[in-house]
Amino acid sequence: MADHKIKILIIDDEKNIRLTLRDILEDEGHHVLEAGTGEDGLALLKNESVDLVLLDVRLPGIDGIEVLKGIREIDESLDVIMISGHATVGTAVDALRIGAYDFLEKPLSLARVKLAIRNLSEKQTLTKRSALVQQNQQDKYRLVGSSPQIQQVLETARRVGPTSAKVLIRGESGTGKELVAHAIHAASPRAEDAFVKFNAAAIPSELVESELFGHEKGAFTGAVGQKKGKIEMAHSGTLFLDEIGDMSLSAQAKILRVLEDGKFERVGGTQTQSVDIRLLAATNKPLEEMVSEGKFREDLFYRLNVVPINLPPLREREGDIKTLLNHFLSHYAAELSLFPKQFSRDAMNMLVGYPFPGNIRELRNLIERLYILSPNEEVDLPEVKPHLNQVVSAEGDAAIFTETRPFAEAKRMFEERFLESQLRQHAGNISRTANSLGMQQSNLSRKLKELGLGKS
């Protein structure tokens, strides 16, 4: 690991000691400040940010132990190495108890000083990296937005998090349903335990039960050993079942049993396993219709739908598109270690008015793609246009996204053309159209009526 250069304050009344330490530390590349008394050192710390204090025990005026206490009041996390030629074991113990990082005796061994500071520098580097990783993880799973709709979703997540209630998160693909699940988990007593995601739509149907419940050796061809499933991995934590509408009726029955009594068996096994999990589920499918068609268990639906959270599509979250664009511009600059980009005024106006049919996933992918492909720090309109999905194909429809007009008017124009196109694809069948859009049929019918569409 490369040495991390730090700012060091030396508090010692012996000038020669200060000069010797300064020479050693500056040769190592560190920045050094000095103070001859404890009072001067504390005054300097109130105005200067440093990474380490080298503190003599015996000082004129207040002694080193009192200075150490004063440092703790200014910054309780600041590292301090005590130095003294007159230290007793009791003094060293007191210093370490108060929070000193190390204790060095005079006459100082220069090699020992270098080693102590190198070790502390590496510790600080690891601490900062760990904090950065933790912050990146928090940013990765943070639901960004200031619109009233998103604030309501976040408030519900905060309220339901500390409880054990089951939550069903609904919304179009790409709206951030997993982020809501993470917010609930983070607000729960299980936050320090595992968060395990299982996407039923991403696994071949014949493997869903094995992946979810695990299997015993020889349970099927290729099962060469025992394997724990996602449910066991989530024990004492949270299991997030994404796209639960794609799960088979057989798997649904087993999930219901887990919810009812916390019991299950691995595939091919006879031994009953017990598990303690918090279950959250998400879907973009109309489960009520699936229940009436016999494709989803009614008892499971009501078990899951204790607290419903409906996540609005990005096009209905007023003001959030610009917020998200700026968020991902900063995010990918840091992640890809590139100079931050920004959009020109025309490009930003176009993106703010664009409906993002793929929701946040489409927006995020767009920003990452532009960071990789665009050589410019300011991304202009011609660079953006080719990367937008043209959800409407009539020649004049591109004007919805390029011409300046009231937002409400542009939104209505888009909805009319988009829903007309979807209805045509499904031969005018409202039920199938709603299913493909992840909407409830009643909501789609109401929207069609509002727009004057779908009349015979």
63/181 Cα distance (integer angstroms): 53
Percent of the chain beyond pLDDT 70? 89
When pLDDT is averaged across residues 359-374 and rounded to a whole number, the result is 93
Residues 287 and 176 in one domain: yes
On whether both 308 and 330 belong to a single domain, the answer is no
Please indicate, yes or no, whether residues 366 and 237 belong to a single structural domain of this protein.
no
Query: Which pairs count as long-range contacts for 73-78, CB under 8 Å and 24+ apart, including other chains?
Result: 74/42, 74/45, 74/46, 75/45, 78/45, 78/50, 78/51, 78/52, 78/53
Same domain, 377 and 325: yes
**Between residues 103 and 402, which one has the greater pLDDT?**
103
In terms of domains, do 28 and 109 share one?
yes
Residues 268 and 395 in one domain: no
Same domain, 259 and 225: yes
User: Which of the listed residues 312, 342, 357 is the one where a domain comes to its end?
Assistant: 312
In a domain, 403, yes or no: yes
396 in a domain, yes or no?
A: yes
**48-52, 81-85, 171-175, 337-341: segment of lowest average pLDDT:** 81-85
Regarding whether 283 and 372 lie in a shared domain, the answer is no
Read off the pLDDT of residues 35-63 as tens digits, 9 standing for 90 and up: 999 999 999 998 888 989 999 888 898 98
Pair (368, 405) in one structural domain = yes
Same domain, 66 and 172: no
Q: Is residue 49 part of a domain?
A: yes
Burial class (CB in 10 A: 0-12, 13-18, 19+), 444: buried
Asked if the structure places residue 154 within a domain, the reply is: no
Q: In what order do the strands lie in the sheet with 79-84?
A: 31-35, 7-11, 52-56, 79-84, 102-105
Average pLDDT over the chain, rounded to whole?
85
Tell me the C-alpha to C-alpha distance, in Å, between residue 119 and each of 20, 79, 99, 126.
Answer: 20, 12, 17, 11
Domain count for the chain, please give it: 3
The pLDDT of residue 126 is 76
Q: What is the CATH number of the domain that holds 437?
A: 1.10.8.60
**Containing domain of residue 34, as a range?**
7-137
